[in-house]
Amino acid sequence: MARPKKRQSTLSPEDWLNGGLELLAKAGPSAMTVAQLARYLGVTRGSFYWHFKTVPQYQEALFNHWHAKLIRVVAGDAKTAASPMEELLRLIASRDLPKYDHAIRSWAKTNPLAAKAIDQSDKFRLARLTEIFNAGGLNLEEARKRAQAIVWLAKGAQDEKNLGWRNEVLLDLFTIAMKA
């Protein structure tokens, strides 16, 4: 998601949400004030309050937007591919999802809404990976164990700066995990 260009007109709620994700990823949770968001987007704070009555309402919308537009879409696209694990990794890398995860996980240390969003997202990822492993031939119990290991590994791997290396290692781990 690219930073929106400065505009004279009012932004849409999606512009505020996309801009918020980008600002969060670039500057961290401390930058997530209405004033800093408005400055980042090149508009007045009034545009924010036109769409969101309160900051917590915006935060909840931001986390829902992150989950719906990035997490759910990627999982759905990967699930329907011929090679779901390879497609999952490709989508994660092409959309640079770890930068958003890292930012929201950082925010979750001090923000209960972010903590709730991370918890829901991790449960969703666990369920989708379990389905993928189970569809690949593993029994449900083994699929769930391997999916859990991958979720834990991916959480730790998001801090790796060398994206090519991270993706190569994760793909190898996915491949190993698929073997019965």
pLDDT of residue 173: 76
Burial 100-133 (b: 16+ CB within 10 A, else e): bbbbbbbbbeebebbbebbeebbeebbebbbbbb
Q: Which CATH architecture has domain 54-178?
A: Orthogonal Bundle (1.10)
Domains of the chain, residue spans? 1-53, 54-178
pLDDT of residue 2: 57
pLDDT of residue 58: 97
pTM score, whole prediction: 0.79
Give tens-digit pLDDT for 5-26: 544 457 899 999 999 999 999 9
The correct answer on CATH 1.10.10.10 for the domain covering 1-53 is no
∠ CA 89-90-91, nearest 5°, is 90
pLDDT of residue 152: 87
Question: Would you tell me the crossing angle of helices 84-94 and 163-178 to the nearest 10 degrees?
Answer: 160
Give tens-digit pLDDT for 106-129: 899 999 999 999 999 999 989 988
pLDDT tens, the chain, 180 aa long = 555 554 445 789 999 999 999 999 999 999 999 999 999 999 989 889 999 999 999 999 999 999 998 888 888 877 787 888 777 777 776 777 778 888 998 899 999 999 999 999 999 989 988 988 888 888 999 999 988 988 888 787 777 777 778 777 877 777 777 665
pLDDT of residue 8: 43
Closest CA to 126 of 140, 109, 144, 139: 144
